Structure 1
Amino acid sequence: MKKIILFSLLFTGILGVNAQLLQEKESYTKGDTLRGSLRRERNFNVREYHLNVKVDPGKKYIEGHNRIVFVPQEKLHTIQIDLFENMDVDSILYRGKPLPYRREYNAVFIDNSKGFQKNRKDSITFYYSGNPIAAKRAPWDGGFDWKTDKNGKPWIATAVQGTGASAWWPNKDHQSDEPENGMTIKVAVPNGLMDVSNGRLTGKKDLGNGYTRWDWKVTNPINNYDVALNIGDYAHFGETYKGLDMDFYVLSYNLKKAKMHFQEVKPMMDCFQEKFGTYPFKEDSYKMVETAHLGMEHQSAVAYGNKYMKGYLGRDLSGTGIGNRWDFIIIHETGHEWFGNSITSSDIADMWIHEGFTTYSEAVYVECRWGYEDGQAYVNGLKQNVRNDRPIIGDYGVNKEGSGDMYPKGALMLNTIRHMINDDDKWWQLIRNYSETFKHMIVDTEMVLNFFEQETKLDLEPVFDQYLRHKDIPVLELKREGSGTAYRWVVDADNFNMPVDASINGKTVRLHPTSEWQKLDVPPGGISVATDRFFINVKVGKQP
């Protein structure tokens, strides 16, 4: 699996405890716990997956098997593998003999009377079949996206983030464990169609039964939800750009316009590799695959469905017009190759680590192309999308994401920290160090916090706490006091002492508010707080 790295934590356990206390109270089923928690039956590390599946578009039916290579961390007589309950378990073989199993919700408990031995590499082969759930509106609800192209040919893709990879293939469906040696993906589809999956194409074989099998190999660890099938009448083009193999698979009738449109990948890759470090899956190549759904960050096989438009299906999510200069899906979904695919959160509750950083990468791209001012205008335009409805961090252990604010508010928090540091050379070095230090690793919020604190020497715990674990952003309260102004923070987080910049008489001054009133010898009207650099609200009260 991708190793969960251990840092010497400066604030051991504090944030984790607070998070549990601050989440909205919701009721969860045992099925949620089986999916979201690391129970004893999951105390094994996956080394490899070897997935082999046949897809029948007419019947919307799949059948196949997955050989799972794993190492138990203790002697286990029962292990948990996940597969949605609407799918059939045909058999589970261990050393050529069937093992008994039982099903509970979407979990399959597999018994071995002799036990799987601690620290000894072992494997099972899981045979299965059925009609996987169909996505009603991919990628927002997960499953198979069964579509046809304008020529009536099957055009099929998987998109299962959140829903779970176990919607269509058996695996240990938890973000904390990825196959450290990668995986093979073999997909048989009707002759005349192609499957594009993750990694590199290693070959294809006519099976002689009206099907052709396409074989792919992933060298790097991979998120379960990133494993993808893309089936269609695809045409391919590509090139090696500055040492990186880039391949594009598009519907055959879109080949000409795709060759023009995807030129944007080059300046994007220049920008991201400068700011975030070398593309993290170079061994597996970079691919973009046209899909009927809008897009997903499928590792080394990014799903693209933005209809060759600028913006987000022609719209600018920032409301500034800047977002219509570039293709949102190309930029955002590729940003995930660094943030989400390479650096992965151990629990879905910490998905802000994927989405906040990736949304910030949009502003990074704008800054690379058009300069700092436009980058700042873009990220500030995202404020209109912040709802402040609930905390960004979800509930742990039950497969529960937090608020969708993880996208814009997460990006705006990072932009705030940039301006707390107030040194762009240090900021870009921090972001690159973060990306390279945690490359191909599993992290959580505490680990990100501790890394940022160690690199910046700043007390960032209250900042992370307020933006991530509470629904409201900080409020800087100002009130007239005599001929001057008193100011303080109004926040939920303890010991909140974030500095903030303000313009006073045309001069930039750094203020250091706390929860206690402090005074400036300037009336409130003479103070302009830098809300474009710090994501806060300012409240001006009346003189008591």
Structure 2
Amino acid sequence: MIKRIVLAFLLIGTFQFSHAQKNWDWGGPIDPLQKQFEVLHYKLDLAINPDERSIEGSATVTFEAEEKLEILRLNLIDEYKVTQVLMNGDAVEFTHSNDILDIRPIDCTCNSVEIFYSGVTPIAINPPWNGGFTWEKDGFGNHWMGLSSQGEGAKIFMPALDHPSSEPREGVDLYFTVDHPYFVAANGTLVETEKMGDKVRYHWSTSYPINNYNINFTLGVFHSLKDVFISSSGAEVPIEVIILKENEAKAAAIMEVLKVSTATHEKYFGAYPWPNDKVAIVETPYLGMEHQTINAYGNNYQFVPMGNTQYDWLLHHELGHEWFGNKVSVGDWADMWLHEGITAYGDWLFYYEHGGMESYLEKAKEVGMGIPHDKPVVGKINSTEEEAYHSEIYTKGAFVMHSLRWVLGDDVFFPFLLALASDERFTYQNQIDTDEFISFVQEFSGQDLADFLNLYLRTTKLPQVKISAKGKNSYQIKLDGIKFEIPVEVQTSEGIQRIMLGNKKVKVSSTSAPVVDPNGWLMLKQ
């Protein structure tokens, strides 16, 4: 307890200090100039210099526009110096200020621009919540660098159309040049390793759509353990753990944890979304983050037994984002709960799968007791990341899914979850919002659940349980504050019954006072 209190004060101090620094945010209303084009592909070609904590190189942005652009507006923080911008091999005019890079395209049919830039990287103050670059040394004195940018966007490391609605549908190619013996782990597939004297150049590539903050790279002297994961789709997917050389002896154990978590997610969310790339984690000098096909892992191998297997909450949670957050993603941070809430619910499903129903319900009760109901789960339209991000998008978002399971029943809920994660309207280059989620629930189940879902997602109100004795062995129960009915468990002297409750009184017979929702399926005021 003392350690937790000390840590809390340290985090509060760090948080206050971080706000004294420059605060990068992203999302909100998209810039009108950025509505005029779509990014198709990014190529990043960088030299990473750990001694100077700097990067230098170029980024090539391939885009598509229906009409000729007067200005191609990208985002790049002012901490980097842009030295040249080329289009079709010719230098073009640009301005760079206020974290905006405005490029004046030349009159040509070309659809790509190459930007040369360099600079000292922004340092993460409290990663991954206040992100940036984290530069550390491993136990052997080697440089160890991690990058986190969910709260800041890609502009802290590359020029980008930095809005959550923008995902390059043709993926990214990433080139990194570093001193030997350093390795750089990144998204997709390692296409080539080129040795150049005392330097090494790595080329990573993915052809899948990818959100800007999921583009990532980590530098260190690593040990790699590779294997093949047989997906539920039948695909043979490369699986890899990339960990510090000093932790080599732990590779086999964390590989097994990764395989079990992947298989568990596949059971409830469907086949692994990136079979042509890889399932992978890389050890980072901060806690963790979902980076498509290369999840950051910094939980120090804190496995706990769960049934007949081992559980690592951090590894499992970030891996779950491969489905919800990376494959199924939102274009407005107002709907961030669809990333975090459903993925957090996937954590509960590990308890269900490996610990059983009792373990699952205990987890739900534990989380439910800690929800303050201070903020709506769904933010205002055109939210920035900072406006949308708070604890209840995880906890209450997960509890909404838990309650939905109860209302729909397992025979409908679990097929619904699989269908949601595979519907082409919401996956890969397409995105989803809360209204579409609610419509899909109703479409799939055939039930009118809009009022139920909107109550929990868009308000902080909870139904109030009212129980009144009416004569001997008779009680009346209702839920104040709602205009719809929901199924509720009620425990009486005769056992547990499933009763439809709303704002009209329902009579039950019992020789003892009834208990409403004894297993904790719903968020209610008791």
Shorter-chain TM-score: what band? 0.7 to 0.9
Give the conservation status (yes or no) of the 8 Å contact 1:135–1:141: yes
Give the conservation status (yes or no) of the 8 Å contact 1:246–1:286: yes
Deviation at 1:290, TM superposition (A): 0.8
Name the CA distance, whole Å, in 2 between partners of 1:32 and 1:167: 8
Counterpart of 1:265?
A: 258
Deviation at 1:526, TM superposition (A): 2.9
Give the conservation status (yes or no) of the 8 Å contact 1:77–1:113: no
> Bigger CA drift: 269-278 or 329-338?
269-278
Instruction: Sort the Cα spacing of 1:132 and 1:474 in 2 relative to 1 into closer, same or farther, 3 A.
Output: farther
Counterpart of 1:397?
A: 382
Counterpart of 1:430?
A: 416
Give the conservation status (yes or no) of the 8 Å contact 1:53–1:187: yes
Counterpart of 2:117?
A: 128
Equivalent residue in structure 1 for 2:81, among 72, 75, 88 = 88
Counterpart of 1:359?
A: 344
Alignment pair present for 1:409 and 2:396: yes
Name the CA distance, whole Å, in 2 between partners of 1:144 and 1:99: 30
Give the conservation status (yes or no) of the 8 Å contact 2:143–2:220: yes
Give the conservation status (yes or no) of the 8 Å contact 1:485–1:524: no
Counterpart of 1:295?
A: 288
Alignment pair present for 1:37 and 2:46: no
Give the conservation status (yes or no) of the 8 Å contact 1:393–1:402: no
Deviation at 1:32, TM superposition (A): 8.6
Alignment pair present for 1:369 and 2:362: no
Counterpart of 1:458?
A: 447
Alignment pair present for 1:55 and 2:30: no
The count of corresponding residues between Structure 1 and Structure 2 is: 492
Counterpart of 2:245?
A: 252
| Amino acid in structure 2 at the alignment position of 1:38 | I
String of CA shifts for 1:238-261, please: whole Å, max 9, x gaps: 111222210111111211112223
Counterpart of 2:479?
A: 489
Instruction: Sort the Cα spacing of 1:521 and 1:345 in 2 relative to 1 into closer, same or farther, 3 A.
Output: same
Give the conservation status (yes or no) of the 8 Å contact 2:62–2:113: yes
Name the CA distance, whole Å, in 2 between partners of 1:66 and 1:369: 45
Name the CA distance, whole Å, in 2 between partners of 1:285 and 1:151: 28
Any unmatched runs of 5+ in structure 1?
Answer: 1-30, 540-544
Any unmatched runs of 5+ in structure 2?
Answer: 1-22, 231-235
C-alpha RMSD over aligned residues: 2.5
Equivalent residue in structure 1 for 2:322, among 318, 331, 337 = 337
String of CA shifts for 1:395-449, please: whole Å, max 9, x gaps: 3324131431111111111010111012x12211111111111332311111111
Name the CA distance, whole Å, in 1 between partners of 2:91 and 2:30: 26
Name the CA distance, whole Å, in 1 between partners of 2:326 and 2:294: 11
Name the CA distance, whole Å, in 1 between partners of 2:188 and 2:471: 67
Instruction: Sort the Cα spacing of 1:130 and 1:453 in 2 relative to 1 into closer, same or farther, 3 A.
Output: same
SS at match of 1:345: coil
Name the CA distance, whole Å, in 1 between partners of 2:405 and 2:124: 39
Deviation at 1:354, TM superposition (A): 0.6
Instruction: Sort the Cα spacing of 1:121 and 1:497 in 2 relative to 1 into closer, same or farther, 3 A.
Output: farther
Counting only pairs closer than 5 Å after superposition, residues 75-154 of structure 1 correspond to structure 2 as 75-112=68-105, 114=107, 122-154=111-143
Counting only pairs closer than 5 Å after superposition, residues 86-235 of structure 1 correspond to structure 2 as 86-112=79-105, 114=107, 122-208=111-197, 210-235=198-223
Deviation at 1:452, TM superposition (A): 0.9
String of CA shifts for 1:333-390, please: whole Å, max 9, x gaps: 1111111011111111211001111111111112222222222222322123322221
String of CA shifts for 1:244-295, please: whole Å, max 9, x gaps: 2101111112111122233112222222212211100111111111111111
Higher RCO (C-alpha 8 Å, min separation 6): 1
Give the conservation status (yes or no) of the 8 Å contact 2:377–2:392: yes
Name the CA distance, whole Å, in 2 between partners of 1:35 and 1:406: 17
| Amino acid in structure 1 at the alignment position of 2:30 | L
Name the CA distance, whole Å, in 2 between partners of 1:477 and 1:36: 41
Equivalent residue in structure 1 for 2:406, among 419, 437, 450 = 419
Alignment pair present for 1:378 and 2:363: yes
Deviation at 1:533, TM superposition (A): 4.3
> Bigger CA drift: 238-247 or 519-528?
519-528
Name the CA distance, whole Å, in 1 between partners of 2:117 and 2:484: 53
SS at match of 2:486: coil
| Amino acid in structure 2 at the alignment position of 1:374 | S
SS at match of 2:127: coil
| Amino acid in structure 1 at the alignment position of 2:250 | K
Instruction: Sort the Cα spacing of 1:134 and 1:127 in 2 relative to 1 into closer, same or farther, 3 A.
Output: same
| Amino acid in structure 2 at the alignment position of 1:369 | H
SS at match of 1:471: coil
Give the conservation status (yes or no) of the 8 Å contact 2:42–2:168: yes
| Amino acid in structure 1 at the alignment position of 2:479 | W
Name the CA distance, whole Å, in 1 between partners of 2:163 and 2:330: 10
| Amino acid in structure 1 at the alignment position of 2:55 | I
Name the CA distance, whole Å, in 1 between partners of 2:333 and 2:498: 37
| Amino acid in structure 1 at the alignment position of 2:59 | N
Deviation at 1:155, TM superposition (A): 0.3
| Amino acid in structure 2 at the alignment position of 1:504 | T
SS at match of 1:436: coil
Deviation at 1:464, TM superposition (A): 2.2
SS at match of 1:510: strand
Identity over aligned pairs, percent: 26
Give the conservation status (yes or no) of the 8 Å contact 2:225–2:251: no
SS at match of 2:346: helix
| Amino acid in structure 1 at the alignment position of 2:33 | E
Instruction: Sort the Cα spacing of 1:477 and 1:277 in 2 relative to 1 into closer, same or farther, 3 A.
Output: same
String of CA shifts for 1:75-127, please: whole Å, max 9, x gaps: 4322321111222222222212233233453222223374x8xxx87111122
Give the conservation status (yes or no) of the 8 Å contact 1:356–1:407: yes
TM-score by length of 1: 0.85
SS at match of 2:421: helix
Give the conservation status (yes or no) of the 8 Å contact 2:337–2:378: yes
Name the CA distance, whole Å, in 1 between partners of 2:110 and 2:336: 31
Deviation at 1:211, TM superposition (A): 2.6
Name the CA distance, whole Å, in 2 between partners of 1:183 and 1:204: 17
Name the CA distance, whole Å, in 1 between partners of 2:308 and 2:464: 28
Instruction: Sort the Cα spacing of 1:500 and 1:150 in 2 relative to 1 into closer, same or farther, 3 A.
Output: same
| Amino acid in structure 2 at the alignment position of 1:426 | V
Instruction: Sort the Cα spacing of 1:453 and 1:337 in 2 relative to 1 into closer, same or farther, 3 A.
Output: same
> Bigger CA drift: 165-174 or 267-276?
267-276
Name the CA distance, whole Å, in 1 between partners of 2:291 and 2:487: 39
Alignment pair present for 1:305 and 2:295: no
| Amino acid in structure 2 at the alignment position of 1:109 | D
> Bigger CA drift: 248-257 or 83-92?
83-92
